[in-house]
Amino acid sequence: MAILIKNGILITLGEENQVIENGAVLIEGNEIKDFGPVDRVRKPTDAEEIDASGKVIMPGLICLHHHLYSTFSRGMRAPKKPARNFIEILEKIWWKLDRALTAEDIYYSSLIPLIECVRKGTTTIFDHHESQSCQLGSLDEIQKAAEKIGIRACLCLGTSDRYGKGKEGIEENERFLQKMRNQKGLVAGMVGLHASFTVGDETLDRSVEIAQKYNCGIHLHIAEERADEDDSLRKYGLMVVERLKEHGVLGEKSIAGHCVNIDENEQDILKETGTSVVNNPESNMNNAVGCADVLGMMRKGILVGLGTDGMSSDMLSQMRFAYLIHRHTAQDPRVGFSQAAEMLLKNNPQIAERVTGFKVGRIEKDCLADIILIDYLPPTQLNTDNFLGHLVFGLVNSVVDATICNGKILMKNKRLVGIDEERITQKSRELASKLWERLSY
């Protein structure tokens, strides 16, 4: 099955980004087989043609840190006494919620943001899951949801000892990795840990053993708030990143979410070990935990990517948040813009490929066919030199018209293909109401 997208403004991204005014892309199977000016691209007679006039054609976007299960918190009753800090936010909201999730809840709460991914043009996500009362089999539920909607996903369970269920978390990560071992589809796995302050040494060591056995990295939260560092210093006499290095958690395939409160020495360790960092600026603002020193980390050569931390599935808006917060925090109008774009458009694809092998985030021959079309009539000239300005100030507010992932059309003319959104949202509402009743305040 071939798909030919033509007549749009093609932004290829990748090493040699090109902006082609009247561009075309040919997809065969799940890969990109040709692209360029429309009159130079091969046109198989049996190809399904998509007219992209008045639209930008670009690679699907990548979210490096998501929490699909967070869906059921939308509109949830606020705690009687508002959370005063990050740990209280976890205790009063997230840990309550994740502890109440059933297998069916996990499946339906995953479908909703995955549909949002389709609508916002995010075709790859790295999910960090937690469901303390339903760990075994939980990753299968998310896999089922990702495959149902058609979004590429790298999954893990954030193992935690906070309720004495670390062993079970490890078991789930290993079970899933074993299952996925020789599969090359939409979904991949990695080892997950919640965060240093809820994970004991035994759990750390066992998780590292599994990561080594399956040749994958570890996805965890690092120093999202100062309390993580205080806990590590108190219990182990080490800063979080020092502790994680000692146990072998860090490395080129590992993903460190947040790193808001790490110091200079910890940054150096992340650089030495080749660990990728994921910045989640919108979530950091929401939790009032501060702003990560992303500019400093990037100057050191740490690969910093971008995620939403479950706040949304909209990566262009996340890029804009990143640009604004880092410029604002630095109080320097010379910085932030290019770094935000670098995180989303260059580093996210690089990290995604390094961790999973997925060749995504660029329109290049033999890369995976993850492509989006966005409605856009440029009000000023759009070219290779200035496309970032159009992304951050124009396309960010435009509507995604079509989403293709792995060579499959998930949305066309703004209509979801083969996804019954009304039925899914109705079921989601029913399940969320039942879950809210189970919560104690």
Binding site for Zn ion (CB under 5 A): 309
- Please enumerate in sequence order all residues whose Cβ is within 8 A of that of 114, keeping only pairs 6 or more positions apart, or say none: 68, 125, 145, 146, 148, 149, 151, 313
Output the residue with the shortest Cβ distance to Zn ion: 309
Of residues 140 and 309, the one with the C-beta less far from Zn ion:
309
Q: Which two tokens stand for residue 136?
A: 């075994």
Q: Cα torsion for 31, 35, 40, 43, to the nearest 10°? A: 30
Give the nearest distance from C-beta 282 to Zn ion in angstroms. Answer: 12
Compute φ and ψ for 121, nearest 5 degrees: 80, 25
Give the nearest distance from C-beta 142 to Zn ion in angstroms. Answer: 15
The closest alpha carbon to 141, from 169, 174, 101, 96, belongs to 101
**Gap between the Cα atoms of 345 and 34, Å rounded:** 21
Of residues 7 and 287, the one with the C-beta less far from Zn ion:
287
**Gap between the Cα atoms of 200 and 404, Å rounded:** 42
**Gap between the Cα atoms of 13 and 1, Å rounded:** 25
Give the nearest distance from C-beta 307 to Zn ion in angstroms. Answer: 8
- Please enumerate in sequence order all residues whose Cβ is within 8 A of that of 112, keeping only pairs 6 or more positions apart, or say none: 71, 424, 425, 428
Of residues 65 and 165, the one with the C-beta less far from Zn ion:
65
Give whole-number Cα distances, 93 to 8, 77, 405, in Å. 44, 9, 33
Of residues 112 and 382, the one with the C-beta less far from Zn ion:
112
Of residues 141 and 309, the one with the C-beta less far from Zn ion:
309
Give the nearest distance from C-beta 222 to Zn ion in angstroms. Answer: 10
Q: Is there a contact between 279 and 241 (Cβ–Cβ < 8 Å)? A: no
Give helix then strand counts, H and E, for the chain.
16, 18
Of residues 35 and 86, the one with the C-beta less far from Zn ion:
86
Q: Is there a contact between 69 and 101 (Cβ–Cβ < 8 Å)? A: yes
Of residues 158 and 189, the one with the C-beta less far from Zn ion:
158
Give the nearest distance from C-beta 309 to Zn ion in angstroms. Answer: 4
The closest alpha carbon to 60, from 406, 318, 427, 384, belongs to 406
Of residues 276 and 403, the one with the C-beta less far from Zn ion:
276
Of residues 309 and 370, the one with the C-beta less far from Zn ion:
309
Of residues 225 and 309, the one with the C-beta less far from Zn ion:
309
Q: Which two tokens stand for residue 275?
A: 């660990």
Give the nearest distance from C-beta 248 to Zn ion in angstroms. Answer: 22
Place of tokens 């989403």: 403
Give the nearest distance from C-beta 65 to Zn ion in angstroms. Answer: 6
Of residues 4 and 325, the one with the C-beta less far from Zn ion:
325
Give DSSP secondary structure letters for 227-290: HHHHHHHHHHSS-HHHHHHHTT--STT-EEEE-TT--HHHHHHHHHHT-EEEE-HHHHHHTT--
Give the nearest distance from C-beta 182 to Zn ion in angstroms. Answer: 29
Give the nearest distance from C-beta 70 to Zn ion in angstroms. Answer: 9
Give 397: exposed, middle or buried? Use CB within 10 Å, 0-12, 13-18, 19+: exposed
**Gap between the Cα atoms of 368 and 406, Å rounded:** 6
Give the nearest distance from C-beta 129 to Zn ion in angstroms. Answer: 10
Give the nearest distance from C-beta 229 to Zn ion in angstroms. Answer: 17
DSSP code of residue 198: G
